């Protein structure tokens, strides 16, 4: 019997493989973000961009010298994060990221062991396939995150992305990787006050909720005046 059946899931839906490292993350469960943006707050720019904020290599798109930097904290089992990435992110990428106006940094904030596992799979993909895998996981979220057998659903997505079952099991057996994925969320919660997803920092301004393209325009346009 494969790891995905034998160890990955229990009948309760908990990922048995990660129980040893899931405890510190239990307080994040159920913090799926608001549909609309919450009140904005400013944050400490030094803490936001500190090396400790990203225990794994940073995942980002766009020019590193762009005048606007957006940091997103998301969970792959967050339905509002999936909505943002399907309804708003394509416009953000085309209008601002691809044109050199926005540097976009994506950080993992898993709610639960299943989300941790999904992020691990994205991290185990080749470097240039990370964002494609994240997009695929958001796009297929209903087929694995909320199913009776998330392991099988994740394996299906992984295979479609070119990952073998052996590599799938090897990836999900990497406890150090699991801990580092979760460390991103622990830092975001403790140091930056992230307690729901998606949460965005736009040039340090904190906004929570699934921002629409109009919300993004409202926040970004003033920052580009004179640029």
157-170 pLDDT per residue, tens: 999 999 999 999 99
Higher pLDDT, 123 or 24: 123
Residue 139, domain extent: 3-224
Confidence category of residue 43, pLDDT binned at 50, 70, 90: low
Nearest to 73 by CA among 183, 221, 220: 183
Higher pLDDT, 67 or 23: 67
Report pLDDT for 148. Answer: 85
Q: How many domains does the chain have?
A: 1
Three-state DSSP class for residue 176:
helix
Which pTM value belongs to this model?
Answer: 0.84
Nearest to 55 by CA among 172, 179, 174, 173: 179
Nearest to 117 by CA among 157, 71, 86: 157
Q: How many CB atoms lie within 10 A of CB 136?
A: 18
- What CATH number did the domain enclosing 48 receive? 3.40.30.10
Report pLDDT for 199. Answer: 96
Averaged pLDDT, 62-79: 97
Spell out the residues 6+ positions from residue 177 whose beta carbon is closer than 8 angstroms to its own. 56, 120, 123, 124, 171
Averaged pLDDT, 101-114: 95
Report pLDDT for 8. Answer: 43
């Amino acid at each position: 019997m494969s790891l995905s059946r034998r160890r990955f899931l229990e009948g309760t839906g908990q990922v048995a493989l990660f129980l040893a490292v899931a405890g510190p993350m239990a307080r994040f469960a159920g913090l799926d973000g608001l549909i609309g943006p919450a009140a904005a707050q400013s944050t400490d720019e030094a803490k936001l961009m500190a090396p400790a904020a990203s225990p794994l290599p940073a995942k980002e798109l766009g020019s590193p010298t762009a005048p606007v930097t957006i940091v997103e904290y998301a969970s792959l089992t967050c339905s509002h994060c999936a909505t943002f990435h399907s309804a708003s992110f394509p416009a953000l990428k085309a209008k601002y990221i691809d044109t050199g106006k926005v540097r976009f940094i994506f950080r993992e904030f898993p709610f639960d062991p299943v989300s941790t596992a999904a992020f691990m799979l994205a991290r185990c993909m080749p470097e240039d396939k990370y964002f494609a895998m994240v997009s695929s996981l958001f796009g297929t979220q209903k087929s694995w995150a909320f199913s009776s057998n998330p392991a099988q659903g994740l394996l299906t997505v992984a295979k479609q992305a070119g990952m073998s079952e052996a590599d799938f099991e090897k990836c999900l057996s990497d406890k150090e990787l699991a801990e580092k994925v979760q460390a991103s969320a622990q830092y975001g919660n403790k140091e930056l006050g992230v307690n729901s997803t998606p949460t965005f920092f736009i040039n340090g301004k904190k906004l929570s909720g699934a921002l629409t393209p109009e919300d993004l325009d409202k926040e970004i346009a003033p920052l580009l005046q004179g640029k």
